[in-house]
Structure 1
Amino acid sequence: MYRTKSFPPNKAGRDFVVGDIHGHFKLLTKALDKLDFNTEVDRIFSVGDLIDRGPDSIEVLNWLEKPWFHAVRGNHEHMLIECISGHGDISRHIRNGGAWLYELQPVAQRELLKVLQELPLIIEINLSNDQVIGIVHAEAPATKSNDGWPEAKDAITGRLGKPNQQQALKTALYAREKIEREDHTSIGGITRLYVGHSTVPSVMRLGNVVYIDTGCSFSDGALSLVEIKTETITSIGMSR
């Protein structure tokens, strides 16, 4: 089942969205320390790809238990789910940074499967001024060129039928068409949409879509976070 998850306004603290982490949870901890992140009132939302390539992918289990940390499913979580379920291409997963998974005991693999299957494909954050922020891994999962955010949600949850749902899933996890076309068209029905997946040198915007995967899995990359209310960017380089 592919689902969405909605969050109420955060009236007490700050909300942040973070780019692809890829197992670099120590780097994320450094970023949160720099931001004086308050676990009592602040929240952080991830665009997915929490695992693979980095040194601490197994830490995803601890982070997803934190009540202030929330994430959507990325294509790397999807690869793990498919491989452990017996439907995936294990060699492809290993080539893309997943070798760590197959060094674990089956009980640990099943625990990861259970936790990652629960991740929504879409997160919405309602702001107190009636604006809505969206989060998806790669692109808004619209199935028609003129579809907006409501249609994308209907597609991913299956309300538009199974074929549209499968197309929407592929778009949500893997698509790069908008950034490859440098398409500045805004997506209707949403204030801003934060995505990862496509690595960019610095946080960039096309229309109302903000790309925040600044390549922390590469030696010259960084982990970037954006405070949603102020749109302030914080980046921690891999060299630190």
Structure 2
Amino acid sequence: MITKYVRRFARNTVGIDYAVGDIHGCFAALEIELAKIRFDERVDRLFSVGDLVDRGPQSDTAVEWISKPWFHAVQGNHEDMAIRYVEPGNRDRDHYMMTGGAWLIEKPRYAQVMIADALAELPYAIEVETDGGLVGIVHADVHGKSWSDMVQAFACADSGTKLRRITNSVLWNRDRIQDEDHSGVPDMRAVVVGHTPLKRPAALGNVYHIDTGGWLRGGSFTFLRLDDLQPSTPASHELNWEGA
């Protein structure tokens, strides 16, 4: 069951699919790293775990990137904050400024609305077909006990309150990584997440945490190949926090 909140992509039969960790407006640095792995825009695809905006110098570029035919992103909590900041009557300026939102706050209203509308079109979850099975992509964690539970919950989210209950998990939850929970997600080949910056990518069961702080000084972007689940930096089974 696919909903407007969950988007599925067929298997890539001609190129390589990669997932990348949080970008946070560091698109110029991302382009440099893509060149290093010889990313081919003609046949390869790049899937983002969200947090395209805030903190970095090129957050404005996010709208341009999400229009690229080979780039596909889910919403992160920073997209959520940007969208909610622009909503009438819900402009928590001080909090959003503290979390990196100055780039949007300083824009005229019409530009804010255009950007928020573009970010709101992003799904909360992506499914990618691979030879080994379905790989899921969400920003922080799966809602419920399985991927199918989450998809069903999205399908039944007929109010803002119900949707917020789901997105609180999908965009914000850190319980799995804080508890070092290796139980995994039973009905998926793998699930790829970001949200929590680590010194190295970490595999907890079949959940791959790949935000290695490409947006931080001294950090780097991790690219996870979805065909063989191999990261550009070897994954660790011990969590090393960036402390950001």
The CA distance in 2 between the partners of 1:6 and 1:63, in whole Å, is: 19
Q: Secondary structure at the match of 2:222?
A: strand
Measured after TM superposition, the shift of residue 10 of structure 1 is: 0.2
Q: Which piece of structure 1 moves more, 49-58 or 109-118?
A: 109-118
**Residue matched to 2:69:** 67
- Alpha carbons 1:155, 1:161 under 8 Å: kept: no
Q: Structure 1 runs of 4+ off > 4 angstroms?
A: 159-164
The CA distance in 1 between the partners of 2:111 and 2:157, in whole Å, is: 34
Q: How many residues align?
A: 230
**Residue matched to 2:40:** 38
Measured after TM superposition, the shift of residue 76 of structure 1 is: 0.2
**Residue matched to 1:153:** 151
The CA distance in 1 between the partners of 2:111 and 2:82, in whole Å, is: 12
Deviations 1:45-90 (A, max 9, x none): 0000000000000000110110000000000000000000132422
Deviations 1:118-149 (A, max 9, x none): 000000001134x000000000011xxxx211
Deviations 1:159-184 (A, max 9, x none): 59876543221000000001111110
**Residue matched to 2:15:** 13
The CA distance in 2 between the partners of 1:161 and 1:90, in whole Å, is: 26
Q: Would the alpha carbon gap of residues 10 and 219 (structure 1) be closer, same or farther in structure 2, given more than 3 Å must change?
A: same
Q: TM-score, normalised by structure 1?
A: 0.91
Q: Which amino acid aligns with 1:121?
A: Y
The CA distance in 1 between the partners of 2:38 and 2:213, in whole Å, is: 23
The CA distance in 1 between the partners of 2:107 and 2:163, in whole Å, is: 32
One of 197, 216, 228 as aligned partner of 1:230: 228
RMSD: 1.8
**Residue matched to 1:238:** none
One of 104, 107, 110 as aligned partner of 2:110: 107
Q: Secondary structure at the match of 2:221?
A: strand
One of 100, 107, 127 as aligned partner of 1:97: 100
**Residue matched to 2:181:** 183
Measured after TM superposition, the shift of residue 43 of structure 1 is: 0.3
1:128 aligns with 2:131: yes
The CA distance in 2 between the partners of 1:206 and 1:2, in whole Å, is: 28
Q: Secondary structure at the match of 1:91?
A: helix
Q: Would the alpha carbon gap of residues 88 and 135 (structure 1) be closer, same or farther in structure 2, given more than 3 Å must change?
A: farther
Q: Which piece of structure 1 moves more, 12-21 or 90-99?
A: 90-99
Unaligned 5+ residue runs, structure 2? 234-244
The CA distance in 2 between the partners of 1:157 and 1:76, in whole Å, is: 23
Deviations 1:85-132 (A, max 9, x none): 132422111101111111222222111011101000000001134x00
One of 57, 60, 80 as aligned partner of 1:58: 60
The CA distance in 1 between the partners of 2:108 and 2:79, in whole Å, is: 18
The CA distance in 1 between the partners of 2:206 and 2:229, in whole Å, is: 12
